[in-house]
Structure 1
């Protein structure tokens, strides 16, 4: 802890007092550290506390965070009420974070924030309000979509409808597929019908060169009242496939064949074929 003593004697005394209050004597035993509201502009590396699980750095004057490079066990980090202008390259290694408070800072690029936090698969609580990023259009939807593990954003629980809206806004390719399947709504499909009804016949016309073309405006629409009906219709159009195999579970084991004289007959009689039919 000598580097902390040299950098800031008052901070060193603060750390010693906290260790006494937690009844720990060795640095690696410290699991929680409160360094909030000390008006600190910089904080030296905390690598001497390898087992830190919660750190309060709120209420200071920090412009960046470069003191947590080796504290990989952190689960809760409080950085609110500072002057942070960027967190790029500062927090990405803290993949075990569950709670991260960053409100009331100067973070201005939501893409950079999300990029730094994307590997935190267990992050559940996040605050970014009172930052310039919170003023961007679709800010909340963007964060919800790119950080799916977050359950509470800016002190408000993320709802199912918010996740669906974020999905529609930022996952356009997959959403187009879901819309075509019409999840939870009626389905209208257009396609060349399999029957030879009058409506289907009118949809096929000849061009000047005698080439057949499909007039899609003449093809009747097919509607479904439920998503299950749409799936069933698609399933029926799939190509049937099948494969056959022997059911070896009914064949006597080696010890049984040794003790039974008619083991060969039993093996032949019990050997069965199983045919599985499916559609792909």
Structure 2
């Protein structure tokens, strides 16, 4: 009886290991994942998703995004509504050469210096940081716009030339954060997927 129990446990363990191995193998082919509002605290399960292009892990309890360093094909990364207070170093971001859209709003970022590591991300064109403590700092937008050179839109507005070239005063319609420069690049998920199919 005792021997039978051990044999069953070993069989179950072997089956479980084989099952996990198959899952990890399948994850290598994932190009899209969405884990929204699932109370997640870790992203370790995404380490094997090396083909990932769109990753939505919003409204969770994530504090560390280092596991994503192997996801070098990412185009869009949505981490809004988590508990992230600091970002990985420039080496992490320089590896994400395809990343274009990064949503970090509604997190706990408080230091501008830490956000400036995003300057190492070579093709980042749109970033959200609103509803973070750092967005209330004086000169927040000016510093980010002039640190992350590829950036075309920050929060709800397209970046104006007036924000880049110091002491250059443009007509009202081209001024920073003018309503004409409003741009909603956080559309519904369905529209975003369509955008990727057409553009990438």
Give the TM-score of the pair, scaled to structure 1: 0.48
Find the counterpart in structure 2 of residue 113 from structure 1: 115
Q: Deviations over 1:227-262 (max 9, x none)?
A: xxxxxxxxxxxxxxxxxxxxxxxxxxxxxxxxxxxx
* CA distance in 2 between partners of 1:51 and 1:42 (Å): 19
Shift of 1:29: 2.4
Find the counterpart in structure 2 of residue 59 from structure 1: 59
* CA distance in 2 between partners of 1:114 and 1:72 (Å): 20
Task: State the number of aligned residues.
Answer: 146
Contact 2:98-2:123 within 8 A present in 1 as well: yes
Asked if residue 81 in structure 1 is aligned to residue 81 in structure 2, the reply is yes
Shift of 1:89: 3.3
CA RMSD of aligned residues (A): 2.4
Shift of 1:40: 0.9
Find the counterpart in structure 1 of residue 143 from structure 2: 142
Shift of 1:45: 4.0
Name the SS of the counterpart of 2:69 in structure 1. coil
Question: As a proportion of its length, which structure holds more strand?
Answer: 1
1:9-24 paired onto structure 2 within 5 Å: none
Name the SS of the counterpart of 1:50 in structure 2. coil
Contact 2:66-2:88 within 8 A present in 1 as well: no
Name the SS of the counterpart of 1:100 in structure 2. strand
Find the counterpart in structure 2 of residue 104 from structure 1: 106
Give the 3 Å change call, closer, same or farther, for CA 26–62 of structure 1 in structure 2.
Answer: closer
Query: Unaligned stretches of 5+ in structure 1?
Result: 7-11, 17-24, 169-178, 180-280
* CA distance in 2 between partners of 1:42 and 1:28 (Å): 18
Query: Unaligned stretches of 5+ in structure 2?
Result: 1-15, 169-200
Shift of 1:64: 1.9
